[in-house]
């Protein structure tokens, strides 16, 4: 019990430090401010904006409650450790150890939140997957990644909207763009940006040889277009075309799909998921705003990195993560050195370890490991 007591005392100290970063009082003030706004006449006239505010209030209340609960649970567990004897009650002692392990997981999840204070961290995320080198294997891998992120979003309780999908000729997909909606969605998923690599025995060749394939994942925060860059309509080329469904079948008999090209930069976005051309155009414009915002940030970073001596480019071959299914099973994040042999679990959406390792490496926050 002495070991558990010391771990919990450390956790109590670190919780106190974390609370200075999180500042529940500031969160409560934000909730009060938003709830006052929600009572104003005409608040629900803009349904999309109203839903975002309502969701933020719900998430903030959940965060406040979680921090209150973690403080209470830590104190209760410390009290139990004081009165539990492994010699007299071995069963109770084992149950207490399991309770501490569960507490540890909840504490780690809260610590991740304390990392997420960036400008866009609380925003929804626009996630795009492109099949890269590897033919059918790459297109199948892109589809596997899409499924992985959809599963992750479902486990997190995020909402999902598929904006665009271009299927492969025979299997998988060439590219797909989805919107994942939820408080801190971008903060959690920004670590996924980059090239992903799959190594496995190919199911698409007769010799069943080991093949390596790649897919590119692009992560963008959804930008509030009312506060975003002012885009001149003259700089846009808007093309419409007929949306295609799975297997090349038509999902619409009208030219509802929209492709927007920003002529000065050459950036292109498209959306074909909605039956309405207007809705597809709105989604495509949201993605364009996010891409232009990212481009400006990258240009500023390049100017800074010229002074600092350059930076590594994201390109095919400079993968951030590998998923190896043969000759052994392992997922390895090459930036953080995080590894796990639970490849299937990761591909089923359990990417928390990858996300946590990235955040812990790139941001300062209180310690969370009680192991």
- Res 344 pLDDT > 90: yes
Banded pLDDT at 311 (limits 50, 70, 90): very low
Q: How far is CA 270 from CA 142, 169, 228, 262, 352, in A?
A: 18, 19, 19, 12, 30
pLDDT in the model for residue 318: 77
Banded pLDDT at 302 (limits 50, 70, 90): low
Total residue count of the chain as it appears in this document? 371
Banded pLDDT at 316 (limits 50, 70, 90): low
Q: What is the 3-state secondary structure (H, E, C) of 320-369?
A: CEEEECCCCCEEEECCCCCEECCHHHHHCCCCHHHHHHHHHHHCCCCCCC
**Averaged pLDDT, 77-83:** 90
pLDDT in the model for residue 40: 92
pLDDT in the model for residue 315: 46
Least confident of 110-114, 259-263, 331-335: 110-114
CA dihedral 99, 105, 106, 107 (to 10 degrees): 100
Banded pLDDT at 308 (limits 50, 70, 90): very low
Query: CA 80 from chain center: how many Å?
Result: 37
pLDDT in the model for residue 362: 77
pLDDT tens-place string over residues 206-254:
888 999 999 999 999 988 766 657 788 888 899 888 776 543 344 455 6
Q: Across the chain, what does the average pLDDT equal?
A: 84
pTM of the predicted protein model: 0.73
Supply φ then ψ for residue 166, to 5 degrees: -120, 110
- Res 276 pLDDT > 60: yes
Q: How far is CA 283 from CA 55, 126, 161, 207, 293, in A?
A: 20, 10, 10, 43, 16
Q: Are strands 159-167 and 339-340 parallel, antiparallel or unpaired?
A: unpaired
Higher-confidence residue: 207 or 370? 207
CATH class held by domain 125-222+335-362 = alpha beta
DSSP 8-state assignment for residue 179: E
Least confident of 46-60, 203-217, 319-333, 345-359: 46-60
pLDDT in the model for residue 248: 39
Banded pLDDT at 117 (limits 50, 70, 90): confident
Task: Tell me the domain boundaries of the chain.
Answer: 2-115, 125-222+335-362
CA angle 238, 240, 245 (to 5 degrees): 135
pLDDT tens-place string over residues 133-190:
899 999 999 999 999 999 999 998 899 999 999 999 889 999 999 999 988 899 999 9
- Res 355 pLDDT > 70: yes
pLDDT tens-place string over residues 264-275:
888 898 888 777
pLDDT in the model for residue 228: 59
| Topology, domain 2-115 | Methane Monooxygenase Hydroxylase; Chain G, domain 1 (1.20.58)
- Res 1 pLDDT > 80: no
**Averaged pLDDT, 323-333:** 96
pLDDT in the model for residue 253: 53
Q: How far apart are CA 328 and CA 202, in angstroms?
A: 15
Question: What order of strands is seen across the sheet that includes strand 236-241?
Answer: 236-241, 257-262, 267-271
């Amino acid at each position: 019990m002495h070991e558990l007591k010391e771990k919990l005392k450390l956790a109590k100290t670190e919780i106190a430090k974390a609370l200075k970063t999180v500042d529940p009082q500031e969160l409560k003030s934000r909730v009060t401010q938003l709830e006052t706004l929600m009572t104003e006449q005409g608040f629900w006239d803009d349904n999309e904006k109203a839903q975002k505010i309502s969701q933020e209030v719900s998430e903030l209340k959940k965060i406040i409650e979680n921090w209150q609960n973690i403080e209470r649970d830590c104190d209760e567990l410390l009290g139990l450790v004081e009165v539990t004897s492994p010699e007299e009650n071995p069963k109770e002692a084992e149950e207490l150890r399991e309770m501490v392990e569960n507490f540890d997981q909840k504490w780690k999840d809260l610590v991740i939140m304390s990392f997420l204070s960036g400008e866009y961290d609380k925003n929804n995320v626009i996630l795009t997957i492109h099949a890269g080198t590897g033919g059918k294997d790459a297109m199948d891998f892109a589809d596997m990644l899409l499924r992985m992120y959809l599963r992750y979003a479902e486990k997190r309780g995020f909402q999902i909207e598929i904006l665009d999908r271009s299927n492969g000729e025979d299997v998988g997909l060439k590219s797909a763009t989805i919107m994942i909606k939820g408080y801190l969605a971008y903060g959690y998923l920004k670590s996924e940006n980059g090239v992903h690599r799959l190594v496995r025995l190919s199911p698409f060749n007769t010799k069943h040889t080991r093949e390596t394939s790649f897919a590119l994942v692009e992560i963008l925060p959804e930008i509030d277009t009312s506060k975003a860059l002012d885009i001149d309509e003259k700089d846009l080329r808007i093309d419409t075309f007929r949306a295609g469904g799975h297997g090349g079948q038509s999902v619409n008999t009208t030219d509802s799909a929209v492709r927007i090209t920003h002529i000065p930069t050459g950036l292109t976005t498209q959306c074909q998921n909605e039956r309405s051309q207007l809705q597809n155009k709105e989604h495509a414009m949201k993605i364009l705003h996010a891409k232009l915002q990212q481009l400006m940030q990258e240009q500023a970073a390049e100017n800074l990195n010229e002074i600092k001596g350059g930076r590594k480019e994201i390109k095919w071959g400079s993968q951030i993560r590998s998923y190896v299914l043969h000759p052994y099973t392992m997922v390895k994040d090459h930036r953080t050195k995080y590894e796990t042999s639970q490849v299937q679990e990761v591909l089923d959406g359990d990417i928390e370890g990858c996300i946590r390792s990235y955040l812990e490496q790139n941001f300062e926050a209180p310690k969370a490991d009680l192991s």
